[in-house]
Structure 1
Amino acid sequence: MLRELLADTIMQSAQLAERPEITTPPPGVSAHFSTAVAMRLAKQEKKSPMEVAAAIASKVQENAPFGLFLAVEVAAPGFINLTLTPDAHRGVLAEIREGGERYPAIPRKGGRTIVEFLSANVAKPLHVGHLRNAVLGDSLSRILEASGEEVVRWNYLGDWGTQFGKLIVAWRRWGQEEELQKNPIAHLVALYVRFHKEAEKDSSLEEEARSEFRKLEEGDAENRHLWERFRAMTIRGIDAFLVRLEIPPFDEDKGEAFFEGDITPLIAELQERGFAKESEGALIVPLDAYNLPPGMIRKSDGGSLYLTRDIANLRYRLDKYSPQRILYVIGNEQSLAMEQLFAIAAMLKLDSAQLRHVKYGLVLGESGKKFSTREGNTVAAEEILDEAQRRAVNIVNE
């Protein structure tokens, strides 16, 4: 907006035929903005760039609105450097403040982008890695929105898998309603960690957990109730986290569980079209043509995997939203899984949108190792925010 104002001012003040391009000067130049319009016009007027620049600068100084420019100076080989007054700066800041976070107001281009980020796991704490992911995903979303894109923010919840069998077993054995009400996620994490410690001594717990998850898959009412309860508690925690970071609510929070009903027909389609084949009891999609290892879409015990649900999710997104792009803001350690997803998507002609993996490195613990919820060594995002707030207050009070 400011560059446009400056370009219009120079064009009108110097009576130019077209708007000049306004750029930011290189380091070492004290001016706020610059234009090289004189060097382009010099050939047409058959004069030196410095002579043309001086003429334009003189007209701008004479005709520009009072209080806009502190200095309009000419610099070799023909630049016109523009320095704004403090009042002009204050005016722009006031305009930005009045416009709010949607400043400047740019008309929608008609494009739509889905940005998948956060992707929190049900019954697990948001840790420092989620904090980085949330900031990246929200920043990308805001940049796209500011450029005129329609953005669908998607928290693809990790709300399915054998870990829920473990959690159900742990809740029935050691769960305490009072602790759950007091701090839901902390209590559920404690139960999850205890399950793994107890399973090291009693291997039958693992089979019990698999049995409980199968019951959940089959629609067992009691297990379904627990799953829905744990999921709702997690979402409430996520909502509070977003409010604290001033991140807008997600447009979608459909997670892995939502696509369970699509898995069987999807696997059947992959088999019918000759893309999938059995290997040691499992079902895989060979990806030699893409120089990738095969993607497993069904385990030997019949269970589905992340990849299978991701394919179903992609088809759903394309059908419902018809996006031009889908950005997956996911850690670098998932690069292979993303490449396999994109390859299978191409095979299935799920290619109406550009698919991009926005990757970043791992946040490691002090030991240099990856954080693990089951080992109980994560650093909660809330702890990081609390500490950052404490340090900021200390600096302000100094």
Structure 2
Amino acid sequence: MLNEKVIGEYVYLVSDECKVGVGQFSHVYKGYHEKTKKQVAIKQIDKKQIKGIFEQMLRNEINILKQLNHQYILKMYAYYETSNNFYIITEFCETDVLQILKNQGSLPEEKVIAYVLQISEALKYLNSKKIIHRDIKPSNILIHEGEVRLADFGFAVHQDKVGIEDRQFQIGSPLYMSPETLLKNQYNHKTDLWSLGVLYFEMIFGVVPFFSIEMDDLLRKLQQYQQDYILTFKYPVSEASTEAIRNLLAYDPSHRCEIRNLELILKNYYSNRAAGDASIHSQKRTITPDKRKKDSPNQSPENRSKAQPIKKELVKVSCSAKCFDKNSTYFTKNKPNKEDDQQNSKREENLGTDRKDNEAIHQISGIRLHDLTVYNEKVTLENMSNEDFLAFLIKKLESVKRQDPSQNIQINECQLLLV
């Protein structure tokens, strides 16, 4: 057949129709095993363009992939080297998270949690092999039949081999790199957990939490985050996702949760849904923070998140972890935002990727709940359903409006959000 090439036991057609990807030095084709007819991906890399550090990265990736065999890690079936090209044969994946974000903007939270749990399984396996991936980002999370495949191990390294020389280089994609790697400090497997936190945030909200096209500005934003621990959410998400993101994005790696803690947090999300609590109005109201400490096990002692009303005119999620004095998340309403536009225009650049968002921007919503004195009531709030609790709050708000008409505008906004 015209333009058909045979590499070992594999066959592919050199054509635009069969080409499924293009890299800086490579082309990826859809092919198949000659005997079994099983579909595969064949990555063809031009030897003339791969020199020095790039050839070293390629051989490093091949050596590491040979050691790996896990459900959520891209499988390498074979590797061939000719006088002109390198060929890597892997399982074929239909798409990746980057393409999904480009097409959809963001993903449903339930699917995001499923993907994060699968990636965490892959990272747990890598930890058992003492391997750090160092480049977790949307384009390296492939999707095959609805499951993730962690790919691209060019930057991967064995933990025992991370020395001073490795720390002299900023290895990875800056928007997804942990503060310790950006600052060329000592790091370990928890650098991958930070990257997973950035990916988690981006899959849910369509934008990365710390965006900049300049390295100095990115470092400045991270230093500010180190001081105030404030993250801005575009809209409220489940308690599980809020807690997971806060734990993964702990600035200090020693305070970043381990994978087992992350899995506990996220599996509770599925437990609640399985118990028939999918609707927020049918769920039991979350136990107040003071009660929860006594009645519930602390899922993540490194970084416990909770929601609370505050005097500042924002809905705030703060963290009561022993390691933080301040740790806050602000929810926002839809309104155009200049920084989101910058993120959209830079999605395909090497610095990182972001979502293409038509609405583009968001404004912090003002809500005042500090005048409520619900904690002094005799009602047993922790046993109330959300529906009853919301009715209780609205009743209290009406009472406050009658007592102080000057607060009507703010209270009306609060009531609108609650219903």
More helix by share: 1
TM-score by length of 2: 0.20
With the length of structure 1 as denominator, give the TM-score of the two structures.
0.21
Higher strand content, 1 or 2: 2
